[in-house]
Structure 1
Amino acid sequence: MEDHNDTGAGVESPLLNNLVNGVVDYKGRPVLRSKSGCWRSAYFIIGVEVAERFAYYGVSSNLITYLTGPLGQSTATAAENVNVWSGTASLLPLVGAFIADAFLGRYLTVIIASLLYILALAMLALSTLIPSDCVNAIDDSPCSPKIQVVIFFISLYLVAFAQGGHKPCVQAFGADQFDSDNSEELKSKSSFFNWWYFGLCAGPTVGIFVLSYIQDNLSWGLGFGIPCVIMGFALIVFLFGTTTYRFHEKIEEINAFARISRVFVTAAHNRTITISVEEEASGRMHHQDSQEFRFLNKALFSPSGSNEEGPVCSIDEVVEAKAVLRLIPIWVSCLGYGIVFAQTSTFFTKQGATMDRSIGSTFEIPPATLQSFIGLSVIILIPIYDTILVPLTRAITNFPSGITMLQRIGTGIFISTISMIVAAIVETKRLNIAREYGLSDDPNAMVPMKIWWLLPQYLLTGAGDVFTMVGMQEFFYDQMPSDLKSIGLALYLSVLGIGSFLSSFTISIVEKMTGGNGRDGWISDNMNQGHIDYFYYLLAGISAGAFVMFIYVAKAYVYNGLRRGM
């Protein structure tokens, strides 16, 4: 490369001024601002994420219908399987983020995850073509074709593992394309996140509309195969953008997981030593940091309690560990929302399957189609939130974003509680109509009640997402230490993962306590004999309890660099 020196005192070379600090291209060379990154790269990255969400929701949204249909599982078993799979899929981004940050890097992780995605979706489609003697069995002895079931579930969990590597890395890699030190690119970076979330909603909306119809009316193999093709095309598009991408130069330092783990391990090892308050705080860290989670301060000292040879862990490492630990109460109080969120792809869909889904004289919409209204409500409400609600609340609170991140999350949790109450009321009405028409004993009967009665609970779920989902994403990203931002993006997803596991556990408990001995419990294969409405009221109570807990811990939370409480 030619040597471009200044032509005079105080005059910078135009080429040097055009270089982006701290990043290189795919060959490790310095990159020019005018020929790399920003929107020219972001379009490729947003495109691959839209395709991934299209594929993921094309599988997940109608999964319970496939399990209770071709695979012949009971409603309760299918709901538990969907919840466990969804929970696993939501937790695996933590693993994917770790692998990317510690070993492979985001770019390579996205490529490997995409290839695994394509393989998993292809296997999923092929599993539906395996001959089976099963019928759509909701009877006393549902069949389970072993080979088909084994291949199907292996493929399904490969999908979960692939998206675990894909999801946390693509968004972070997209944000990497914008230089925060450049005022123009900083504005574009904010716009990038808006279009990113738009894509997260647009992909599932189209996927649910199109693929649920194909799966219910044409072919499950085709319904799972189309996402495979879409992911393959998206990977090609992503690779086309390689020459434009910016790659952050790798700094040799201890991995963030290792640093934080070392603080906890050292503090535990030194648990028996006694340190005075003066030794803890004197010249070592801010008073507030020294008094919070004081047991971690022992990581600053040697096992003898002496610091003559210097601390075992640095002050920054201890403060970093405390910042992560401070997020745990907020994370726990959000789990009630995660439990409610899990119902949209299970019992909401099963409700719709029993109702009148006809439009006109010939067309019948698949029950999973209504899940797309969650994405539609988000697409509609986010502009309203930004252009109307934020200015109004800002005038009252004088806070730049109108309301704080925790206030936004809490509002969504409250809305999710209301959505469960509405869902319970609608289900009670559906059961009453089924009894009125003498359909209670027929599990395959169509209840003469339009599926559009379910629309309010879906729209309320979308409204809750605008507040809680976006709020959690912003909160866990913003409040994590600087080099743990990608982990923050994975952490908010883990709320949904644990919520799905807790939902599965709740279903299992309810099934055992309300059923058995030949009687139908709240959750029955015959939806007209069960009482999903009681289950919804239970979830509303759990959500209300979580909301009260959230208010308590949020008031005590201290933002990084901001004011105390909500």
Structure 2
Amino acid sequence: MDDEAQAPMLVNAVDYKGRPVFKSNSGGWRSAAFIIGVEVAERFAYYGISSNLITYLTGPLGQSTAAAAASVNAWSGTASLLPLLGAFVADSLLGRYRTIAVASLLYILGLILLTLSAMLPSMIGFECKMKNIKSCSPPELQVILFFSSLYLVAVALGGHKPCTQAFGADQFDGQDPEECKAKSTFFNWWYFGVCAGASVTRLIISYVQDNLSWALGFGIPCIAMVIALVVFLLGTTTYRYSIAQNDKGPLVRIGNVLVATFRNWRETPSNMATDQVESREFLPDQSSQQLRFLNEVLLEPNHLKEKYYACSIAEVEEAKAVLRLVPIWGACLIYGIVFVQSSTFFTKQGATMDRLVVSGFKIPAASLQGFTDLTVIIIVPIYDCIFVPFSRAFSRKPSGITMLQRIGTGIFFSTLSMIVAALVEMKRLKTAQEYDLIDKPNVTIPMSVWWLLPLYLLFGVSDVFTMVGMQEFFYDQIPTELKSIGLGLYLSVIGVGSFLSSFLISTIEKATGGDDRDSWFPIT
């Protein structure tokens, strides 16, 4: 009891009963371990669906490669954009803890329905004899139930994904030097856990789906999600829960600033009140001279209160903090487009190649994505334990290199991976032409699938830099009450990248496949 009395009390956090909390008995790695465990199980469930989704669409559901890739991109794009809505609900209405709990229940329901949709063909006696993949016509009920449950999972992801990571980072006090350093390490080990869960599901679930049963392949991720919810609830008494600083929702405040800026466009802003430092309590240390057009709302309240909207410096600085992220967000879209290729065209490439490992065993095409995760699992400890201390000695920065340097390095490696992918595709098509296998998608091209290994390894290195860098950057550079929104912005990079990829596929397919010409997306 004496130790607790001497321990620092946290100002902006309470326990699960709404009581003040002390650093000594809450949060930290003790709580973060529960949340990382939740994410491992959730990523196991997610990649159990997404990794091999294109194979299910081109197989049991009978879609073409281009149509299946567009479907995957549309779903993954939606699943990556909905976190913005989920983050709004968490930051303005429910709070992160309750949002995670509700989203987990929706997630489990979606996976149950997805499993049932995969069982429908056998339940109604449907048999698809696939001599020609285009002749496969699944029951309409199966298609409707499948896509409905798939998008229910996307809705659940919207609430689960941004809140879990933000809630985990909330367990560390950014004002404490030691906990601040631990928070930076948290993002590295968070992604380590993500890739650990993903690698297991890609190596195991893909085999189950390809060789045993799609229903079982979707059912196991459902069980994993139940485990994730149980683990999350077990940590309830150890968590730190953030306290809202303002009765108005953060997005409402930002919206008010933008509306007020428009209304006051032609007015002269008042002098900045230098003695108001309220915003410095929760915003990064940025100059108020940036994005000066927003200062239009800093009007003399007594003079214009009735005719115009006036906002506080804190609210204006909050809006500036969000808008400053837009250019970085736009630059990261390049990576977002590249990211979605690993679960679509890279997987489809591997499915047509020689995947025989030993006599009688073929590695599932989707399992190749596991090499990206294994690369991350190997690189993250090296990065955190060797690279960061080494670079810290030169840069004097706690994280070794800046977050933007980390993101830029990752984008460079992702570009290299696409160059390798293009070279491999040229080799694959040339081999198919040599053996007269063009337009024969069910025949294996005599080219080893291990040609794809270098691009997956490069993609893993890219992930360590860009994915973790984006997570930390968008969490760090956002106002305290918008942390979930910040992580939603990072996820929206993948979402918009997915839609841009889908748009490019459709455009190129139409441009190159007309007038009896061969499309750039061959079915070989």
Q: How many residues align?
A: 512
Query: Residues 337 and 500 of structure 2 are in contact (CA less than 8 Å); yes or no, is this contact kept in structure 1?
Result: yes
**Alpha-carbon separation, structure 2, partners of 1:290 and 1:201:** 40
What corresponds to 1:156 in structure 2? 150
The amino acid across from 2:474 in the alignment is F
1:380 correspondence with 2:374:
no
Matches within 5 A, 1:412-451: 412-451=410-449
After TM superposition, the structure 1 stretch with the greater mean CA deviation from structure 2, 290-299 or 147-156, is: 290-299
Counterpart Cα distance in 2 of 1:189 and 1:289: 25
Q: Report 1:163-562 matches (<5 A).
A: 163-180=157-174, 185-186=179-180, 188-271=182-265, 273-275=266-268, 279=270, 289=287, 291-301=289-299, 306=304, 312-394=310-392, 397-524=395-522, 526-527=523-524
**Contact 2:181–2:398 at 8 Å: present in 1 too?**
no
| Distance in 1, Cα, partners of 2:226 & 2:133 | 40
CA 306–149 in structure 1, closer or farther in 2 if over 3 Å, else same:
same
Residue by residue over 1:62-93, the C-alpha shift from the partner in whole angstroms, topping out at 9 and shown as x without a partner, is 00000000000011000000001111111111
Equivalent in the alignment of 2:280: none
TM norm structure 2 = 0.90
Whole-Å separation in 1 of the counterparts to 2:394 and 2:346: 38
- Contact 1:209/1:369 (<8 A) preserved: yes
Q: Distance in 2 between matches of 1:326 and 1:508?
A: 32
Instruction: Kindly provide the amino acid, as one letter, of the partner of residue 461 in structure 1.
Output: F
Render the CA deviation track for 1:264-285: whole Å, top value 9, x for unaligned: 00111122x2427xx4558599
Relative to structure 1, the CA distance from residue 59 to residue 306 in structure 2 (aligned partners, 3 Å threshold; closer, same or farther) is same
Q: Which position in structure 2 is the counterpart of 1:530? A: none
Cα drift, residue 356 of structure 1: 0.7
Quick one: which amino acid aligns to residue 486 of structure 1?
S
What is the deviation of 1:405? Answer: 1.7
Tell me: CA distance 1:323–1:42, structure 2 relative to 1, closer, same or farther (3 Å): closer
CA displacement at 1:389 relative to structure 2: 3.6
Matched, 1:57 2:47: yes
Matched, 1:116 2:110: no
| Equivalent in 110, 115, 125 of residue 115 of structure 2 | 125
Question: Unmatched 5+ residue regions in structure 1?
Answer: 5-12, 528-566
- 2:31 corresponding residue in structure 1: 41
Note closer, same or farther for the CA distance 1:81–1:305 as it changes in structure 2 (3 Å cut).
farther
Describe the superposition over 1:381-415 as per-residue Cα deviations: whole angstroms up to 9, x where unpaired. 22333344445545555554343221221121122
Measure the CA separation in 1 of the matches of 2:411 and 2:504. 19
- Encode CA deviations 1:216-246: one digit per residue, 9 max, x unaligned: 0000000000011111122122222223333
Identical columns (%): 63
1:128 is paired with a residue whose SS is: helix
Give 5+ residue unaligned stretches, structure 2.
Answer: 278-285
> Match for residue 10 of structure 2?
21
Any conservation in 2 of the 1:359–1:365 contact (CA below 8 Å)?
Answer: yes
User: How high is the TM-score relative to the length of structure 1?
Assistant: 0.84
The whole-number CA distance in structure 2 between the counterparts of 1:281 and 1:20 is: 34
Q: Which moved more, 1:301-310 or 1:363-372?
A: 301-310
Establish whether residue 80 from structure 1 lines up as the match of residue 70 from structure 2: yes
Structure 2 equivalent of residue 533 of structure 1: none
**Greater CA deviation, 397-406 or 291-300?**
397-406
Are the counterparts in 2 of residues 300 and 311 from structure 1 also a CA contact under 8 Å? no
Cα distance in structure 1, aligned partners of 2:391 and 2:510: 47
Change over 3 Å in CA distance of 1:436–1:362 after alignment to 2: same
Q: Which amino acid aligns with 2:157?
A: Q
Measure, in 1, the Cα distance between the counterparts of 2:82 and 2:263.
Answer: 30
* Residue 40 (structure 1) shift: 3.3
Q: Per chain length, whose mean CA-contact separation is higher, i.e. which structure has more relative contact order (CA < 8 Å, sep 6+)?
A: 2
| Structure 2 partner of 1:554 | none
Classify 1:410/1:180 alpha carbon distance in 2 versus 1 (closer, same or farther; 3 Å): closer
Change in 2 beyond 3 A, CA 1:183/1:284: closer
Give 3-state SS (helix, strand or coil) of 1:511's partner: helix
Deviates more, 1:256-265 or 1:227-236: 227-236
Counterparts in 2 of 1:487 and 1:303: CA distance versus 1, 3 Å: same
8 Å CA contact 1:378, 1:466 repeated in 2: yes
Task: Please report the RMSD computed on the Cα atoms of aligned residues, expressed in angstroms.
Answer: 2.7
TM-aligned CA deviation for residue 337 of structure 1: 1.1
CA distance in 2, matches of 1:210, 1:101: 36
Aligned partners of 2:209 and 2:168: how far apart in 1? 33
Shift of 1:448: 1.1
Q: Which residue of 1 aligns with 2:283?
A: none
Q: Relative to structure 2, which stretch is displaced further, 184-193 or 371-380?
A: 184-193
Question: Kindly tell me: are residues 404 and 185 of structure 1, through their superposed partners in 2, closer, same or farther at Cα, counting changes over 3 Å?
Answer: closer
Equivalent-residue separation in structure 1 for 2:380 and 2:29 (angstroms) = 22
Name whichever of 104-113 and 347-356 sits farther off: 104-113
What amino acid does structure 2 have at the position aligned with 1:314? S
> Is the Cα contact below 8 Å between 1:477 and 1:488 reproduced in 2?
yes
Separation of aligned partners in 2, 1:269 and 1:320: 19
Contact 1:20 1:179 in 2 (8 A): no
Larger radius of gyration: 1
Counterpart in the other structure of 1:548: none
